[in-house]
């Protein structure tokens, strides 16, 4: 999957957090913001 401004070689990712019951679309985030959102999701479980 290729999106402009996201992936390898750039500082941002398009982020979706997928769980058994939902998909949370977080949009375009920096790599640091992505890590924080993944941690936030893990801690709320």
Q: What is the pLDDT of residues 7-44, one digit of tens each?
A: 778 889 899 999 999 999 999 999 999 999 999 999 98
- For residue 20, the Cα-to-chain-centroid distance in whole angstroms is 17
List phi, psi (to 5°) of 43.
Answer: -75, -25
List phi, psi (to 5°) of 38.
Answer: -65, -45
Single pTM value for the model: 0.74
- Helix or strand or coil: residue 3? coil
């Amino acid at each position: 999957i290729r999106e402009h401004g996201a992936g390898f070689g750039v500082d941002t990712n398009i982020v979706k957090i997928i769980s058994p019951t939902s998909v949370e679309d977080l949009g375009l985030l920096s790599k640091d913001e992505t890590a924080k959102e993944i941690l936030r999701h893990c801690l709320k479980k």
